[in-house]
Amino acid sequence: MKTLLIKTVGNYLNLLSYISKPYAANKALNLFVTPRKGRVLERHVDFLNTAFNEELTYNNHTIMTYRWLGKKGTILLAHGWESNSYRWKPLVTELNKKGYSVVALDAPAHGRSGSKEFNALLYAEYINVVAQRFKPHTIIAHSAGGMAATAFQNKYQYPALEKLILLGAPSEFKDIISRYVKMLGYNKRITHQLNKTIIKRFGVAPDSFSTAEILNNIKTKGLIIHDKSDTIIPYNDALLINKGFKNSTLITTEGLGHSLNDASVRDHIYNFLEA
């Protein structure tokens, strides 16, 4: 049923492209940047309310943050696509027990944060606002949050950041777009116009935004964890990131999938933090 719906939407936009390529490509991009889930659910509330909730702002957008106090330095957590800060519950609980202060933020258009759409560049600005407020020494980021965290560090070269941990992070934005185009079955008219639309809206061409290349400019000590059976972000992305991130270690898991929400992954994180 879901596959049929996806193909129906793709076919509809393909037909629209013969009336107006820019209009169809703009609709395709809107679909790409609009999450369909990730808002806070009732079952998330009890845990999120154990934190100090604080709203920050960027360009009139609300940035929702959650802070658990500890006696050690602060670790910032950045979740991925169609998620929110609740996804960090097991990690937050254990980091806090170990004495760390932990801050998590909701991404644009996710959780309780503002914006009608998501993109990594806007997310990077959210991360910057939160970093300036809470002064983390480490950022742990999952999936698209990893792309945003590297974009943040590349742009601002935040001096207090000692360690960057990337979990299932994507490398090449052009590959993300390519997988989206293939999934929807877009024709060449939309595909070619979509690149122009992205440049017009975000000022960046898909083939010029690469996490691996960005990391060439980052001297922070890094840890990359990626699963060989990740069906969302291919394992090859981890190899590219590891090659670009000179001061990094790659840990490969098997059978954990994209979420990497597992005790063994948390153990790798603790060992890296306390090394």
The tens digit of pLDDT for each residue in 156-194 reads 999 999 999 999 999 999 999 999 999 999 999 999 999
The 8 Å CB, 24+ separation contacts for 179-182 are: 180/32
The rounded distance, in Å, linking the Cα atoms of 255 and 45 is 30
The tens digit of pLDDT for each residue in 108-133 reads 999 999 999 999 999 999 999 999 99
The rounded distance, in Å, linking the Cα atoms of 43 and 173 is 33
The tens digit of pLDDT for each residue in 76-95 reads 999 999 999 999 999 999 99
Q: What is the mean pLDDT of residues 51-80?
A: 97
Residue 7 scores a pLDDT above 90: no
Q: Domain locations in the chain?
A: 1-32+177-207, 46-172+210-274
Model confidence at 4, in pLDDT bands (50, 70, 90)? confident
For residue 273, the one-letter residue type is L
In the block, residue with structure tokens 């600005």: 125
Q: Give the pLDDT confidence score for residue 194 in this predicted structure.
A: 96
The fold of 46-172+210-274 is Rossmann fold (3.40.50)
Q: Give the pLDDT confidence score for residue 63 in this predicted structure.
A: 98
CB within 8 Å of 17: residues ≥ 6 apart: 24, 25, 187, 189, 190, 193
Q: Give the pLDDT confidence score for residue 3 in this predicted structure.
A: 76
